Structure 1
Amino acid sequence: MALPIITAEQRLAEARGVKGVLVGGWGLGKTSQLWTLDPATTLFVDIEAGDLPVKSWPGDSIRPRTWEDCRDIAVLIGGANPALRENQPFSQWHFEAAQLRYGDPAVFAQYQTLFVDSITVAGRLCLQWCKGQPQAFSEKTGKPDTRGAYGLLGQEMVSWLTQLQHVRGKHVWFVGILEERVDEFGRRNHALQIDGSKTGLELPGIVDEVITLADVPAAEGPAYRAFVCQTANPWGYPAKDRSGRLDMVEPPDLGQLMRKLGAPEAAAPTPPTLH
């Protein structure tokens, strides 16, 4: 059977979700961006167990504790990948097995946005799982093989991210910790804090948007908190805007940012007053 041709009219009418990464240092309010999102249509994927800033946020959440949980959630939300063989993650076999464990995946249909906090902790869960797999041990000696474990880590993380990236009708935001590094020449740079190098290198090519939440220096007066959205920024923060709609610096409001990217208007709850 020939592959169907998708007309321009059909393509433009399709629901297309934004896939992005939101990174920032400790305590800048990454998780608190949930307050800018519609709780009726947002699912908080709380991998980090760091929900204190959003304890009274009135939306739903799910709390994966293992790497297997993370993979099962991804296949239930994204469906089976027909290109994969039986017994492979995200295959039809995996989809049916996850259904037996969790029930009907239709429960996820009501959510338009997935807020995954955080990709840093997901990487740690994945590495812990990888260290117990056959690839993490030498075939000759049976001793742990660090290179094998990290090689598997890269494959697993990229497959997981790609599975969620292909959920066309939903917005997916991965939250991550930004760390400052100093190279051998004393130069400072910023990068996503995550185990292994493969995920960090390939992630910008998987998602549409890379946004850094940072204290941006002002021309006059104190620094102010903002989203840095363009690659060519003077502070060297990781950023990327595939849409071409964002300015270099945007207000630190994820809901407003998504509307600028073309997402439908959505009501956000009022955050609690700080005393």
Structure 2
Amino acid sequence: MTVQPEGTPCWADAMFTDLEGAKVFYGEVLGWTFGESSSEYGNYTQAYVDGKAVAAIVPPMPGQPIESIKSAWCLYLASPDAAATAEKIRGNGGEVLMGPMQVGEFGSMVIAKDPGGVVFGVWQAGTHEGFEVQGVPGAYTWAEVVTREPGRADAFFPAVFPYTVKRMDVEEVDYKVFEIGGAPVLGRMKAGPDDLSPEAPNYVSVYFAVEDCDATVAKITLHGGQLYFGPMDSPFGRFAAVGDPGGAAFGVIALGTTVGDMPGMVAE
């Protein structure tokens, strides 16, 4: 596996107060199995699909007030130098919340916010290079910045990472795609008044691939999760916005179930 180019989504993890409950939920919904918790690193626990690492879950840090914890998926973007990326984040109006921090031999991490409050991670790979598989059922396949402040995201992310930007040529949708070397790696969607509740933060929506979107949504609600939007057909696949019992939002998409023509993209 090759280390991903700078700015490419390379890993995702989430914190849960009920780690065992999260294992049951994601095991049932996405077919994940779990490795041994690493006590040296706060019981960080990797999730696998067919033996390949796809994500991780972690309990709160000791002493962290339970009421302060809001479960959320964090997407990590690859960097050859986490410290230099942290400086770019600060220099372009973002905020570094944690790090740069060395995580043993695995790599170095940063947790940050864009100027609109979107939380994301930065990962400088060591022995842990990131996703071992993508785009198969149960694995990461796409992510998009969902924000009420698209102008801030549009200025920030291409200044920090080497993105070129294209706009989706659809009048009723404000959607842009950040590309690296001509390949799309991350979306940016303007959140309308019905897309986010007033108390919900701007965030990165992480999508996991599934065989059957409707069947997966049924499993999600059966096991205590929430359906926020969909399922809906698209040229990219049938998808839905959902949440787990801990409140962490994510997306599921059946890549093989496509409807309609691909929209045109216009260079910015």
Q: Larger Rg: 1 or 2?
A: 1
The higher relative CO (CA closer than 8 Å, separation ≥ 6) is in 1
Pick the TM interval, shorter chain: under 0.3
Q: Which has the higher helix share?
A: 1
Question: What TM-score, normalized to structure 2?
Answer: 0.28
